[in-house]
Structures are given as C-alpha cells and as structure tokens.
Amino acid sequence: MSQRDQIRMSEQEIARFLEQGRTLSVATINPDGAPHLVAMWYALTDGKISMWMYAKSQKALNLRRDPRITCMMESGASYGELRGVQIRGRATLVEDVACVQAIGEAIYRRNASADGALTPQQFQIIAAQAPKRIGVVVESTAIASWDHGKLGGLSPR
C-alpha cells in the first residue's frame, strides 16, 4: 500500500472534517487564467459546500464565466498533524434571494453564533445583504484528502 493510500480519509472522515471547519480556501479562475484565491466561510447543505458572496465580487464574476472551483480546508502545525481535504468541482450559482438568504443564515449559524441561534439583528443583517449576493453550491467532481496522523508518527521519505 502506498503512503498516499495510507493517509487518504474515508468519506465519513471527510464529512466530519468539513463539519468541524469554518473557513475554506476557495480558488476560481481569473480571465487571464490565473487563480483567484480567497478565504470563505461556508455551510454544508445536503453534504455540499455552500457559500455566499457579493454578486459583483471577482470570484462571482469568475464563476459566471467559468464555473470551475476548488475548495480546500487544512489543519495541523507539524507534519504528523497535517490533515486536509481538497474538493474540485463546478459551482451552481443561486440567485433567488430567499435561497441566498437561507445560505447566509446557515453560514451565520455555523460561524457567527455560539449556539446555532441567530439574533434578530443578525437576521436583519443577512436579509439586508441577501439581495446584493449570490449563493454558490459546490458540485464535487474530485476529492483529495490526507491525514498524516494515520502514519503513526512516521516522517516523510
């Protein structure tokens, strides 16, 4: 068995890892072909990564032109602690304001709430932002994962 096979996460491990995270590195493709890389809060909707972004942002413009997207979450300070998931896929753009608002609420519940509940002020903020934003749901085409803890403290060759 290769080292790559040893460190690969199972589907359940990937799901748990993504459930624990808050921020993804998200890459879209600029008009000149260069990657546009940003950090984004996200939620999981039916097991899929969902985000919202300003409709006029560079990443939104990039996705309208080319829906290819790559998302990565990683953790670990030392080699033996490195874990991560990279998801390549296609972005489905969501423009219905009620659906965009629902994505925003899910993101806020996950990232800006201690107990998963939203305050009336947070609802107002999300409702005011939703008409200016689009939602993005990532339809996965390829997943790579790694958990160096599975090597039992072995260092790289």
69-80 pLDDT per residue, tens: 999 999 999 989
Looking at the domain assignment, is residue 156 inside a domain?
no
Domain that holds residue 106: 3-151
- CATH code for the domain in which residue 116 is found: 2.30.110.10
Burial of 140 (0-12, 13-18, 19+ CB in 10 A): middle
- Higher per-residue pLDDT: 110 or 38: 38
pLDDT tens-digit map of 123-136: 999 999 999 999 99
pLDDT tens-digit map of 101-115: 999 999 999 888 778
Handedness of CA 53, 31, 21, 86 (dihedral sign): positive
Q: Could you report how far apart the first and last alpha carbons of the chain are, in Å?
A: 15
Number of domains in the chain: 1
Pairing assessment for the beta strands 48-54 and 133-147 based on DSSP bridges: antiparallel
Q: How far apart (Å, rounded) are the C-alpha atoms in residues 18 and 84?
A: 9
Question: Can you give the pTM of this predicted structure?
Answer: 0.90
Residue type, 88: R
